[in-house]
Amino acid sequence: RRLLGTAGAAGAAGLVAGGAGGALGYAAAGTGGPALTSVGTGAVPFHGTHQAGITTPLQACGHLIAFDLATGAGRKEAAALLRRWSAAAEAMTQGRPPAGDNQVALDAGPASLTVTFGFGRSFFARTGLTDRIPAAFQPLPAFSSDALDPRRSDGDLWAQIGADDALVAFHALRVLQKEAAGTARVRWQMNGFNRTPGATARPMTARNLMGQVDGTNNPKPADPDFAAKVFVPDQGGDEAWLNGGSYAVVRRIRMLLDDWERLPLDRQEAVIGRRKSDGAPLSGGTETTPVDLGRFNPDGSLAIPGDAHVRVAAPASNGGAAMLRRPFSYHDGYDADGTPDAGLLFVCWQADPGNGFVKVQRKLDRGDGLSRFIRHESSALFAVPGGCGKGEYVGQRLLE
């Protein structure tokens, strides 16, 4: 697999004609052109200890979708749905059409498609499984800056779809929705995007819609404590079903781009604590130089201001609390007054929300320089089970 935060092999070489498409079943035979580019041929394994879509590099297109179980649907129906969803996701991520395919993605390879499933707290009451709710799975507290729309928050079931091709991503979204018919109805759905692999001359950390390099100081899969920060530790008893799993916090965070873009560059950089051009910390060095929170400027001021986002959010300021941020940008058009409805579909992954998002957001809520320029508009927390093996479905250890 490619490493998180890099744009993949296509980055340096541009689009490479690939012959491997035939093996994936979606080759465009006899068209005269290259069968598939390297973007199309990327296939992320569906089976494994963890679900795909957590440490998978950011894909260019994303869909988030939450469902509520239909009246009368309980544990048995939910189990059957997760079985259907897992089979369809396995097929599509490996480049095979799912059962009853509508052929929307027929000519494309899997394009690094991932489909990741999670359960909201309300799911457990609906399925008679409240005794299996893990102790760490507490509702998110209210924050003073919340401006949440309950209709676009929470949900019994959640799926995150990512792919490097928009048709492949939409195809997966539509297939999940159709498989859910009669068992679960869509509660909310959001669309996002990131940079396309190959768009930059070399693999680089993504930028968000404020123009900042975003994702630099994420935990890295190679870090010795990565798994402890991101994945739920193995345990027995009622919580064993979540072994190898994680918790996803989802927040639709609107960016107040008109206000932000009026701010001069040096003040924008002070808000984050990093340079906008290359993401280097204001304490010096390059993008990957560790942030020095104790450094002072010659005039005696802090190099990283007291309310800079990277200072307030840093594990050092939050008793070691950490999370893996894996967002998509979104743009849903303009309000009637011309204000962009754009920002971040903030998705972060952690072993324990209480020692990840909740701790950090509490601190940000009290004194983050960035908060004047953003607005949290929806919120959800999902327990995301570990991956499944061949012949199994996601969530089987909870639902069987």
Q: By CB under 6 A, is residue 217 in contact with ligand HEM?
A: yes
Would you say 94 and 52 are in contact if contact means Cβ atoms under 8 Å apart? Answer: no
> In angstroms, rounded to a whole number, what is the distance separating the alpha carbons of residues 188 and 191?
11
> In angstroms, rounded to a whole number, what is the distance separating the alpha carbons of residues 197 and 83?
32
> In angstroms, rounded to a whole number, what is the distance separating the alpha carbons of residues 98 and 103?
9
Q: By CB under 6 A, is residue 208 in contact with ligand HEM?
A: yes
Q: Which is nearer to ligand HEM, 163 or 282 (CB)?
A: 282
Q: Which stretch binds ligand HEM (CB under 6 A): 41-49, 78-86, 146-154, 313-321?
A: 313-321
| Residues paired with residue 116 on neighbouring β-strands, in sequence order | 160
Q: By CB under 6 A, is residue 380 in contact with ligand HEM?
A: no
Applying CB under 6 A, the site for ligand HEM has a residue count of 26
Catalytic, 337? Answer no
Task: Find the farthest-apart pair of alpha carbons in the chain and give their distance in angstroms, rounded.
Answer: 69
Closest separation in Å from C-beta 328 to ligand HEM: 12
Site string for ligand HEM, 314-353 (x = CB under 6 A): xx---------x-----------------xx-x-------
Q: Kindly report the backbone phi and psi dihedral angles of residue 102, in degrees, each rounded to the nearest multiple of 5, phi listed first.
A: -90, 0
Q: By CB under 6 A, is residue 229 in contact with ligand HEM?
A: no
Q: Which is nearer to ligand HEM, 39 or 364 (CB)?
A: 364
Q: Kindly report the backbone phi and psi dihedral angles of residue 343, in degrees, each rounded to the nearest multiple of 5, phi listed first.
A: 165, -140
Q: By CB under 6 A, is residue 364 in contact with ligand HEM?
A: yes
Taken in order 257, 190, 70, 381, the sign of the CA dihedral is negative
Q: By CB under 6 A, is residue 313 in contact with ligand HEM?
A: yes
Write out the DSSP string of 19-47.
STHHHHT---TTSSS-SEEHHHH----S-
164, 214, 307, 352: which one is catalytic?
Answer: 214
Closest separation in Å from C-beta 288 to ligand HEM: 10
* Positions in 243-302 near ligand HEM (CB under 6 A): 253, 255, 272, 274, 291
Q: Which is nearer to ligand HEM, 85 or 357 (CB)?
A: 357
> In angstroms, rounded to a whole number, what is the distance separating the alpha carbons of residues 171 and 95?
12
Nearest in space to 57 (alpha carbons), one of 117, 114, 116: 114
What's the token pair of residue 343? 């920002």
Catalytic residues: 214
Residues that bind ligand HEM (CB under 6 A): 208, 210, 212, 214-217, 253, 255, 272, 274, 291, 309-310, 313-315, 325, 343-344, 346, 357, 360-361, 364, 374
